[in-house]
A and B are shown apart, each in its own frame.
Chain A
Amino acid sequence: MTMPLNQTLLARTSAKLGPRLSIAVGAVVLALLIALPLLHLTPADSAFHVNAYTLTLVGKILCYAIVALALDLVWGYAGLLSLGHGLFFALGGYAMGMYLMRQSAGDGLPAFMSFLAWKELPWYWVGTDHFIWALCLVVLAPGLLALVFGFFAFRSRIKGVYFSIMTQALTFAGMLLFFRNETGFGGNNGFTDFKRILGFDITAPATRAALFLATVILLVASLLLGWKLARSKFGRVLTALRDAENRLMFCGYDPRGYKLFIWVLSAVLCGLAGALYVPQVGIINPSEMSPTNSIEAAVWVALGGRGTLIGPLLGAGVVNGMKSWFTVAFPEYWLFALGALFILITLYLPHGIIGLLKRGEKQ
């Protein structure tokens, strides 16, 4: 008789421990993320010093984590698998890059334009020397593109694999467009050699730390927003939409508005992530729009666990951590490893890492 009693007791404590444990882990991770940029500010010979390489690497992964979260909102909740989220990320990055190029160029033209012997700025560069306008572009460029694309796609009731293929085609088209020198975004070299942001030296430790903190803030804000949405009736409608769209329509909901809202929101989050990525990494070029990048984002989400918010963040961290190691140790085999990973998740981990953790908790 004592055995089952003990078991229930154990189950109860672990059930109580479950959320507390995750809150504790979350708090520790957040504290570490805040400490990291502060430790970067310590003198270089200090034992606690975090070097610029590490800070940039983690900052980059955090930006990817935001993309994973944004993709999870549309894929995990609304069931729309986008294989073109890299496009929105890159558009946000390019918008920020335009501002950074103007900062480096001062009153003259950005270097690549002088190289092409252009005499004046194309019309869409107007105002990009103002940080505020650049920020507007960061939101508007991916947001408007997503709005127009989503409007027509959802109106025509394109879904499933057709939707995925179209998003893939879209990002591919974007890449080809941005590869052209005539497009006015630096061709295949893209933008690089940034010097200043808001007048501050972009490579200074304090600037790096501030950019990193901004990324942490955006990540936490996106997570809270996603959490609020998922717990609202809106989130439940999205889940219903994913599982039984017809039923939902006969309940009197118009799915188009719901899809469009979450789709545009997701694109804007990606744009913001891209805008923080560019000054930290120091380069943006059309390869960010390559279809493989967007597919990789889907792998992050699948690995972490669709529809769980925290899962995709874990997935982005794990895959990118592996990538950093792999590309140093066995650079040729990274893509094979990524492919194998995707197959293994699909076969054995349909609910991702989070699903695995939950199963472990139950046993």
Chain B
Amino acid sequence: MRATPIPEAMLEPIHDPLGSARDAIGAGRLAEKGLNVRHGTILTLEDINVSFDGFKALTNLNLYIGVGELRCIIGPNGAGKTTMMDVITGKTRPDNGSAYFGETLDLTRMSEVEIAQSGIGRKFQKPTVFEALSVFENLELAQKTNKSVWASLRAKLSGEQRERIDEVLETIRLEGSRERQAGLLSHGQKQFLEIGMLLVQDPQLLLLDEPVAGMTDAETEFTAELFKSLARKHSLMVVEHDMGFVGSIADHVTVLHQGSVLAEGSLNDVQADERVIEVYLGR
């Protein structure tokens, strides 16, 4: 798949380690109530270090994601992409450094569940859905609502919630498989179902780990459209190997290498960067 040309306007700012990109969007007002995004940054990672038994997975990682931004993260295997997502979602605690969601929520002190409830959704590399439940039930469980034990015991779907699920079913093109057991879906359909589960969860920041792996070209194209329509309203961070896909969606690309940011900018710029070519593109 060939990269679609990127509009001129999206090329700025180019390489920006200080992260003024967040100001470029400068749209704190777009975020929902409750989350303080005064400075237009929804995610701030500063000087993050993670090591596993002496192996440094992340070294002094700095990354800023602006409100409403669609950021792609690329990098060779072992560059620390998944570890970074683990740090953001609370699965891995960094050795040091700070991670903030909005201006006030310290992700290093929150549990995975608290982080998810505060509005960060994550799609795994391997599509993970609740296989024994139907497609509709998968979305029902993911939907944004009170998720305590008592609430679940007496939960009943309201008409509004049902409509929202139907709407998402249509968006992810699974309305025909509504009652189908999720375990019986094809790989691509599972990918979409998982994306749908993120949509009903209505997070402000979506982390997507290789969302188009195993999808057909048509599905990939459709996913690109979907993500572009999600940006602005949500902030997205997409880890992907498919350069065509990255080129078609990203206004901004970050290259990770050996646990820290190697380059940042438009896809064309980072692809032209000597160091990136050396470590990643292998030319």
Assuming the contacts A237-B141, A247-B130, A252-B113, asked whether A257 and B124 have C-beta atoms less than 8 A apart, the reply is no
Instruction: Determine whether the beta carbon of B130 is less than 8 Å from that of A253.
Output: no
Instruction: Determine whether the beta carbon of B117 is less than 8 Å from that of A252.
Output: yes
Instruction: Determine whether the beta carbon of A239 is less than 8 Å from that of B132.
Output: yes
Q: B113 to chain A: which residues have CB within 8 Å?
A: 249, 252-254
A250 at the interface (CB under 8 A from B): yes
Report how far A258 CA is from B197 CA in the complex, Å. 20
Chain A stretch 213-251: residues in CB contact (< 8 A) with chain B: 229, 232-234, 236-237, 239-240, 242-244, 246-251
**CB<8 Å pairs between A and B, sample of 12:** A232-B153, A233-B153, A240-B141, A243-B132, A244-B130, A247-B129, A249-B112, A250-B112, A251-B147, A251-B197, A252-B144, A261-B149
B247 at the interface (CB under 8 A from A): no
Q: A236 to chain B: which residues have CB within 8 Å?
A: 130, 133, 137, 140-141
The distance from the CB of B140 to the nearest CB of chain A, in whole angstroms, is: 7
How many chain A residues sit at the interface, stated as a range, is: 20 to 34
Q: Which residues of B contact A (CB under 8 A)?
A: 89, 111-113, 116-117, 121-122, 124, 128-133, 137, 140-142, 144, 147-149, 152-155, 197, 201
Q: Which residues of A contact B (CB under 8 A)?
A: 229, 232-234, 236-237, 239-240, 242-244, 246-254, 257-258, 261
Q: A239 to chain B: which residues have CB within 8 Å?
A: 130, 132-133
Question: Told that A232-B152, A234-B153 touch, could you supply 4 new A-B pairs with CB distance under 8 A?
Answer: A250-B122, A251-B147, A253-B113, A261-B149
Report how far A229 CA is from B144 CA in the complex, Å. 21
Report how far A248 CA is from B142 CA in the complex, Å. 8
Instruction: Determine whether the beta carbon of A240 is less than 8 Å from that of B133.
Output: yes
Assuming the contacts A237-B141, A252-B201, A254-B113, asked whether A247 and B128 have C-beta atoms less than 8 A apart, the reply is yes
Report how far A234 CA is from B152 CA in the complex, Å. 5
Report how far A254 CA is from B142 CA in the complex, Å. 13
Q: Chain A: interface secondary structure?
A: helix
Assuming the contacts A232-B155, A236-B133, A244-B129, asked whether A251 and B141 have C-beta atoms less than 8 A apart, the reply is yes
Closest residue of chain A to B151 (Cβ to Cβ) is A233
Closest residue of chain A to B123 (Cβ to Cβ) is A250
The distance from the CB of A236 to the nearest CB of chain B, in whole angstroms, is: 6
Closest residue of chain B to A254 (Cβ to Cβ) is B113
Q: B147 to chain A: which residues have CB within 8 Å?
A: 251-254
Most buried by A among B132, B149, B201: B149
Report how far A251 CA is from B123 CA in the complex, Å. 10
Closest residue of chain B to A307 (Cβ to Cβ) is B132
Q: B124 to chain A: which residues have CB within 8 Å?
A: 246-247
The distance from the CB of A248 to the nearest CB of chain B, in whole angstroms, is: 7
Instruction: Determine whether the beta carbon of A257 is less than 8 Å from that of B140.
Output: no
The distance from the CB of B274 to the nearest CB of chain A, in whole angstroms, is: 38
Instruction: Determine whether the beta carbon of B89 is less than 8 Å from that of A250.
Output: yes
Report how far A360 CA is from B197 CA in the complex, Å. 35
Closest residue of chain B to A247 (Cβ to Cβ) is B128
The distance from the CB of A80 to the nearest CB of chain B, in whole angstroms, is: 15
Question: What 5 A-B pairs have minimum CB-CB distances, sorted nearest first?
Answer: A233-B155, A252-B116, A240-B130, A234-B152, A252-B117
Report how far A166 CA is from B132 CA in the complex, Å. 28
The distance from the CB of A275 to the nearest CB of chain B, in whole angstroms, is: 25
Assuming the contacts A236-B133, A239-B133, A246-B128, asked whether A251 and B142 have C-beta atoms less than 8 A apart, the reply is yes
Closest residue of chain B to A232 (Cβ to Cβ) is B153
Instruction: Determine whether the beta carbon of B116 is less than 8 Å from that of A234.
Output: no
Q: A240 to chain B: which residues have CB within 8 Å?
A: 130, 133, 141
| Cβ-defined partner of A249 (8 Å) among B116, B132, B152 | B116
Instruction: Determine whether the beta carbon of B130 is less than 8 Å from that of A243.
Output: yes
Q: B128 to chain A: which residues have CB within 8 Å?
A: 244, 246-247
Report how far A229 CA is from B155 CA in the complex, Å. 11
Q: A252 to chain B: which residues have CB within 8 Å?
A: 113, 116-117, 144, 147, 201
Report how far A261 CA is from B124 CA in the complex, Å. 28
The distance from the CB of B183 to the nearest CB of chain A, in whole angstroms, is: 9
Q: A248 to chain B: which residues have CB within 8 Å?
A: 130, 141
Q: A258 to chain B: which residues have CB within 8 Å?
A: 149, 152
Closest residue of chain B to A251 (Cβ to Cβ) is B142
Q: A234 to chain B: which residues have CB within 8 Å?
A: 149, 152-153, 155
Report how far A234 CA is from B140 CA in the complex, Å. 12
The distance from the CB of A198 to the nearest CB of chain B, in whole angstroms, is: 34
Assuming the contacts A234-B152, A261-B149, asked whether A251 and B201 have C-beta atoms less than 8 A apart, the reply is yes
Most buried by B among A239, A246, A253, A257: A253
Report how far A252 CA is from B145 CA in the complex, Å. 9
Report how far A352 CA is from B153 CA in the complex, Å. 28
Assuming the contacts A236-B141, A252-B116, asked whether A257 and B149 have C-beta atoms less than 8 A apart, the reply is yes
Q: B201 to chain A: which residues have CB within 8 Å?
A: 251-252
Report how far A239 CA is from B132 CA in the complex, Å. 7
